[in-house]
Amino acid sequence: MGPREAERITGIDRSAASRLFRQLESLGWVQHGEERGTYTVGPEFFAVAAAVRQRDSLWRAAKPLLESLTEQFDETTYLAVRQDHQVVFRDKVDCAQRIRYILELNEPFPLTTGASGRAILSALPNSEVDEILAAGLTAYTPDSITEADHYRAQLAHDRELGYAYSKSGWVARGGGVASPFFDAGGRCHGAITLSAPIDRLGADRAAVIGPAVRAAAETLSRRLGYTADEDADTAVP
């Protein structure tokens, strides 16, 4: 962005914003963007971000599990976390496939979208699920579930399996398999997710991948201090 957009977003006078950009540039926090008069993230910002990432205990615990799944199935895997009634994909391990189903990192999406959100919802108390479903369901594709009772029935099936499988439910021709993980207090903290074009993630392959994703999520839960004898009301509806 440039000073004009910074003024619009922050309310800081454009000339003051321009001076701030120049100061940040001198420190290496921003650098000139492709368009004249704009700035983008600089090398110092990336260095700090990398240092923070290395100290992120959740990512340190999850990374080897995602790497193992990606190596086993050659599909991209994601660490998704819950933020209130939204799901955010925090990090990923890319596969070697040339054609991939890519999910945007650090972008909040409703919990009712795709396999990740459904996996998280399957691990929440029914009262909370009812509150979320009361806001309504959006038809993202012709295959999206838009009827609340149908969605609840799908969540019940997901709980039985221990993972959720979405086939073009959020993005047409995109598929995902996800399983919830829990923190030390027994609360669902997010989901481990594998995504792929639906041509490579049909129901038969999902039935093979699902248990592996579930096992990875269970391992991550244990590494975060969760034990199976936690209060069932917080872990399972």
CATH at 73:
3.30.450.40
Mark whether 66 and 149 lie in a shared domain. Answer: yes
Which residues are CB-contacts of 137 (< 8 A; sequence separation ≥ 6)?
112, 144, 145, 146, 147, 148, 151
Would you say residue 197 has pLDDT above 70? yes
- In angstroms, what CA-CA distances link 50 with 44, 56, 106, 184? 10, 10, 15, 26
Mark whether 108 and 185 lie in a shared domain. Answer: yes
Mark whether 47 and 87 lie in a shared domain. Answer: no
Mark whether 122 and 174 lie in a shared domain. Answer: yes
Mark whether 114 and 46 lie in a shared domain. Answer: no
- pLDDT of amino acid 56: 63
- pLDDT of amino acid 51: 65
Mark whether 79 and 127 lie in a shared domain. Answer: yes
Q: In this predicted structure, which of 17-21, 51-55, 74-78, 111-115 has the lowest mean pLDDT?
A: 51-55
Determine what percent of the chain is predicted with pLDDT higher than 70. 93
The pLDDT tens digits of the residues spanning 149-164 come to: 999 999 999 999 999 9
Question: What rounded mean pLDDT belongs to the chain?
Answer: 90
Total count of domains within the chain = 2
Full-model pTM: 0.76
Mark whether 188 and 73 lie in a shared domain. Answer: yes
- pLDDT of amino acid 235: 38
Mark whether 126 and 42 lie in a shared domain. Answer: no
- pLDDT of amino acid 233: 41
- pLDDT of amino acid 234: 38
Q: Which of 190, 44, 210 is nearest to 119 (CA)?
A: 190
Domain containing 22: what range? 3-51
The pLDDT tens digits of the residues spanning 52-103 come to: 655 668 998 999 999 999 999 999 999 999 998 999 999 999 999 999 998 9
- pLDDT of amino acid 229: 59
Mark whether 76 and 189 lie in a shared domain. Answer: yes
- pLDDT of amino acid 52: 64
Read off the pLDDT band of 36 (50, 70, 90). Answer: confident
**Could you tell me which residue, 205 or 84, shows the higher pLDDT?**
205
Q: Which two tokens stand for residue 237?
A: 């509806």
Mark whether 83 and 160 lie in a shared domain. Answer: yes
Q: How far apart (Å, rounded) are the C-alpha atoms in residues 78 and 120? A: 14
Domain finish residue from 15, 36, 51? 51
Would you say residue 231 has pLDDT above 50? no
**Looking at residues 198-214, what average pLDDT do you find?**
97
Mark whether 129 and 182 lie in a shared domain. Answer: yes
Query: What does the chain look like in DSSP terms, one character per residue?
Result: --HHHHHHHH---HHHHHHHHHHHHHHTSEEE-SSTT-EEE-HHHHHHHHHHHHT-HHHHHHHHHHHHHHHHH-SEEEEEEEETTEEEEEEEE--S-SS-----BT--EETTSHHHHHHHHTTS-HHHHHHHHTT----SSTT----HHHHHHHHHHHHHHTSEEEESSSSTTEEEEEEEEE-TTS-EEEEEEEEEEGGG--HHHHHHHHHHHHHHHHHHHHHTT--TTS-HHHH--
Mark whether 10 and 76 lie in a shared domain. Answer: no
